[in-house]
Structure 1
């Protein structure tokens, strides 16, 4: 019987040893998404550009909405909204794919000694690639409409790292549960939509009463969305105490998720 590492140091060592395979699978996932299309990888640039244009028109001209922060112009609203969408799309791509990662690759389970734990990592890296392209569009828009990006934007990786660690932990749990409970894959789309509206993507957290803001911050997306806007648009330094708590929680979810996955994977071959 094959034994799989369940201690945090062993998990980190395993992921590091498989970094080459992870990178190859990530490239295949990114390139494969656009294989056969005329524009190829350029779609990863066109899509966020189109999203930004649509948000500018719908929310700026149709709804005539205002955030009350970062200026009252239509471009300011679109930029603020798009910042939240970039963060949320990382969550959506990782979570939506997670329940099917194992069941859609039965050969990896039955016929090949394959490090299944890297599949959520591949999905996360692919999501980060598309987020990076969207971020480039966002930065260009900020420079165009606001004259430049504050230096505090350099702190953004300090938010993204714990955010991805948390998403990986959740993805490992969902990938495992998706093998045994197939209904999870059917319901995860609805759950993602709910999280979208329960996150301050289309509205600022400050728009809610204080008691509801505390509940909103239980959503793991909220802190990253709000802090991303503060760094990229507001020019504010990170909330260091909040970031420390978020990092600690993310590490706990990360290691808890991989340990859960490693312990539950023993039954994958019997179910698939």
Structure 2
């Protein structure tokens, strides 16, 4: 049986073409062009910082250098969330929008989904590059940044697995995309992105059931990123192990489910 990487490598040219098409069409006709890839997250960051950091007085933990910057605390979480959110929703759109093409000519159904993921990864790389630059300027970049490629691989594995699974499911049942939008909104507020996780942890002793909050894999991925970039700590072994297991399981099951459904996708799209 061919591995996931073997499948992707075999059709790398086709995936690249879909990614290129996605990148060209995304900002086609725009005056600002690719600058929107930074403007959009920065505007979102500004709004959340104003509302939660200024008006509601959110108090983030200290960075490794002792400073407290809510905007950076927020942005570190948003980079992860934006990628997962866009991959999940973009995967469903990429598959359904290429349905007519898939019915006319043969190509592996995962190619447009993978191409969309590559395009989103490039956009996330820009955001991450900006974040690292700011941390470097503030003197808050330590050896823990060496963990970044490993954490990013876990984020990618989780997002890709979920994206493939939901793309295949949405091809069959179009209500899935609407349910996913509602679910993602709930997950966003159930993840410590716009607030510190300490606000939830204070209830653990009084309410044991509150610990189910930790089962949210996105929470673990966001906190891992903050540990290595914001507070400059080595990843928590328990957090890392849980995130690794969940991410790899999601990737494996998502890919397997998609491949098993791929034969019927051209008929239902």
TM-score (norm 1): 0.87
Structure 1 residues 226 and 11: CA distance shift in structure 2, 3 A:
closer
Q: Distance in 1 between matches of 2:16 and 2:236?
A: 32
Confirm whether residue 13 of structure 1 aligns to residue 13 of structure 2.
no
2:75 aligns with one of 48, 72, 82: 82
Structure 1 residues 213 and 129: CA distance shift in structure 2, 3 A:
farther
Structure 2 segments unaligned to the other structure (5+ residues)? none
Instruction: Judge conservation of contact 1:85–1:201 (CA < 8 Å) in 2.
Output: yes
TM alignment of 1:146-157, pairs within 5 A: 146-157=138-149
Confirm whether residue 60 of structure 1 aligns to residue 60 of structure 2.
no
Q: CA deviation at 1:174?
A: 0.8
Q: Distance in 2 between matches of 1:242 and 1:68?
A: 18
Q: Distance in 1 between matches of 2:39 and 2:96?
A: 32
Confirm whether residue 271 of structure 1 aligns to residue 257 of structure 2.
no
Quote the residue 2:92 is aligned against: 99
Q: Distance in 2 between matches of 1:240 and 1:27?
A: 38
Q: Distance in 1 between matches of 2:54 and 2:241?
A: 39
Q: CA deviation at 1:156?
A: 1.1
Quote the residue 1:112 is aligned against: 105
Q: Distance in 2 between matches of 1:114 and 1:244?
A: 37
In the alignment of these two chains, the number of paired residues is 262
Structure 1 residues 25 and 152: CA distance shift in structure 2, 3 A:
same
Instruction: Judge conservation of contact 1:49–1:137 (CA < 8 Å) in 2.
Output: no
Structure 1 residues 68 and 162: CA distance shift in structure 2, 3 A:
closer
Confirm whether residue 165 of structure 1 aligns to residue 162 of structure 2.
no
Structure 1 residues 24 and 213: CA distance shift in structure 2, 3 A:
farther
Q: Distance in 2 between matches of 1:270 and 1:48?
A: 37
TM alignment of 1:82-231, pairs within 5 A: 82-144=75-137, 146-208=138-200, 209-210=203-204, 211=208, 214-231=211-228
Q: Distance in 1 between matches of 2:197 and 2:210?
A: 6
CA RMSD of aligned residues (A): 2.1
Structure 1 segments unaligned to the other structure (5+ residues)? 1-6
TM-score (norm 2): 0.88
Q: CA deviation at 1:257?
A: 1.4
